[in-house]
């Protein structure tokens, strides 16, 4: 599963979902210090910045349409601290931009024949009672209704579910103190999706009372973790007093100005909590925000603010684990699980003609080793019925020579083995595959291949096998694995820009058309 994160902050979602194997496709954060934290911990992930521009980029295919969209749009517009300006506040309008982005992602995924995304959203409970019915507007946007939804009984309850033309939506208020951290932090979480067979209510509502992670199910159950040894947490109350119940008050972004959370040490000395203790109260690893910021280590103030603005990691992990458990296991015959295209179409996507033309100018391909009569890129080709894995390629070309191979992505490994074997017969192969270095076939390929070229600065728009039209927004980048028809010394790694390849290929095609 790959997810896009908006209002990313210091990425509680990423720390929560790393253990279940989910990967970030992109982040969206504009604040300087959280952006620096993202760059420190996830340097390979793009930070797209302004979230209001992402929907158009997704529609254009310049930004990946991921499996999951997660984020907590600014809560100030919905909270008492934000004067309850609601959707009239610019920050509240980001909530509507979030809906627009969710719709753009689903539209692109449908265009590519993929299942719709799963939406995860977090906010303060105050959103349920804002004077402008902001939550009803948000629900209506996600559900696809033309007018805002109204709560039964005059106010939104702390848990519920609605269904509309676009999506099914469930919401629930969860408190972090019942998920393993010593912080009283109540937040409303929304899970929504248009996927068939996926029920958001099953994610947020447990059926087996007594085994879940809810407040009602955990009364009397000690699940909290201390912040430091030999200390007692005192929680601030509205009466300007403190209570010793082992739980801190809710951490907030304003704490860098007014830290009222206290810890009484064993020798009765009173002090404020440290940024390290704030990280622990949110479930982050120690030192997550202690980064090089400018020419020195980050000051405490931006750390307090970023941690207070974030989500509780254990709550997000619980939600992610329940989503993962609810998804059907997809059985693949190979070790590449990146495609959500229907199985009958998954292996039929065609190579962009301009890309092939550019590479053909370099390698002079004699054979398309995995093709059909209607989409073969060379005069000589091997069909599925002929089984390229069992066919001698030397019967189709003059040796030494090169073969073009865009293999079925559902099972790449045997094609890697085939290309490796044919290279010993002075037959070179240029293979177009997903840019995934974590899979077994990549490790096997670089043991015998001469070169790996990563196609950078954009993703390829493959040709839809049904419509015959290019479809942008490919979920992964691409790379070329090259076996030369002569002995190798090592595997060389290089990059080539997508637009450079495509522009050169388009010129070649235009010249051919004009001839």
Active site residues: 75
Q: Of the candidates 261, 276, 179, 262, which has an alpha carbon nearest to the alpha carbon of residue 224?
A: 179
Q: Does residue 10 contact residue 37 with C-beta atoms inside 8 Å?
A: yes
Q: CB atoms < 10 A from the CB of 134, how many?
A: 27
- DSSP secondary structure of 118-142: EEEEEE-GGGGG-TT-HHHHHHHHH
Pairwise CA distance, residues 282 & 180, whole Å: 10
Length of the chain: 515
Q: CB atoms < 10 A from the CB of 111, how many?
A: 17
Residue at token pair 């830290």: 259
Q: What token pair was written down for 208?
A: 């087996």
Q: What token pair was written down for 98?
A: 């979030």
Q: What token pair was written down for 52?
A: 């209001």
Q: CB atoms < 10 A from the CB of 369, how many?
A: 28
Q: Does residue 437 contact residue 300 with C-beta atoms inside 8 Å?
A: no
Pairwise CA distance, residues 66 & 106, whole Å: 9
Which segments within 194-310 are labelled E, that is strand?
231-237, 241-243, 262-265, 270-272, 292-293, 296-297
Residue at token pair 């989910």: 22
Q: What token pair was written down for 479?
A: 């790379």
Q: Of the candidates 203, 196, 193, 188, which has an alpha carbon nearest to the alpha carbon of residue 121?
A: 188
Strands 186-193 and 470-471: unpaired
Q: Does residue 270 contact residue 243 with C-beta atoms inside 8 Å?
A: no
């Amino acid at each position: 599963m790959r997810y896009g994160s908006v209002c990313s902050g210091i990425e509680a979602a990423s720390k929560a979902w790393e253990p279940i194997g989910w990967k970030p496709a992109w982040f969206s954060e504009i604040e300087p210090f959280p952006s620096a934290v993202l760059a420190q911990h996830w340097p390979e992930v793009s930070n797209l910045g302004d979230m209001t521009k992402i929907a158009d980029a997704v529609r254009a295919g310049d930004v990946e349409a991921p499996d999951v969209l997660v984020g907590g749009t600014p809560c100030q517009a919905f909270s008492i601290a934000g004067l309850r300006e609601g959707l009239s506040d610019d920050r509240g309008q980001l909530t509507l931009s979030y809906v627009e982005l969710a719709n753009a992602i689903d539209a692109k995924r449908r265009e590519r024949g993929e299942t719709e995304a799963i939406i995860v959203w977090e906010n303060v409970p105050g959103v349920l009672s804002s004077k402008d019915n902001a939550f009803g507007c948000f629900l209506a946007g996600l559900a696809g209704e033309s007018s805002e939804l109204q709560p039964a009984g005059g106010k939104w309850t702390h848990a519920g579910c609605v269904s509309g033309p676009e999506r099914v939506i469930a919401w629930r208020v969860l408190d972090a103190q019942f998920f393993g951290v010593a912080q009283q932090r109540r937040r409303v979480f929304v899970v929504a999706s248009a996927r068939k067979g996926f029920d958001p209510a099953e994610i947020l509502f447990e059926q087996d009372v007594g085994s879940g992670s809810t407040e009602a199910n955990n009364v009397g159950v000690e699940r909290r973790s201390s912040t430091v040894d030999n200390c007692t947490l005192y929680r601030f109350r509205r009466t300007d007093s403190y209570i010793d119940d082992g739980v801190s008050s809710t951490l907030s972004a304003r704490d860098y100005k007014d830290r009222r959370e206290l810890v009484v040490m064993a020798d009765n000395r009173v002090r404020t909590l440290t940024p390290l203790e704030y990280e622990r109260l949110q479930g982050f690893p120690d030192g997550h925000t202690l980064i090089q910021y400018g020419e020195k280590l980050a000051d405490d103030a931006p750390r307090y603010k970023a941690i207070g603005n974030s989500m509780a990691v254990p709550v997000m992990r619980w939600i992610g684990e329940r989503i993962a458990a609810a998804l059907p296991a997809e059985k693949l015959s190979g070790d590449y699980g990146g495609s959500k295209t229907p199985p009958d179409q998954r292996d039929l996507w065609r190579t962009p003609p301009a890309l092939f033309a550019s590479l053909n100018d370099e390698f002079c391909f004699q054979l398309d080793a995995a093709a059909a009569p209607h989409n073969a890129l060379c005069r000589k080709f091997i069909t599925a019925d002929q089984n390229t894995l069992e066919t001698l390629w030397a019967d189709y070309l003059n040796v030494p020579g090169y073969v073009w191979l865009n293999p079925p992505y559902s099972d790449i490994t045997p094609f890697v083995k085939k290309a490796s074997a044919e290279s010993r017969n002075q037959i070179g192969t240029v293979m177009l595959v997903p840019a995934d270095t974590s899979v077994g076939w990549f490790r096997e390929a670089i043991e015998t291949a001469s070169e790996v070229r990563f196609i950078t600065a954009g993703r390829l728009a493959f040709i839809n096998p049904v419509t015959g039209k290019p479809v942008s927004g490919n979920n992964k980048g691409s790379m070329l694995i090259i076996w030369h028809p002569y002995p190798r010394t090592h595997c060389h790694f290089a990059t080539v820009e997508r637009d450079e390849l495509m522009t050169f290929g388009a010129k070649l095609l235009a010249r051919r058309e004009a001839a």
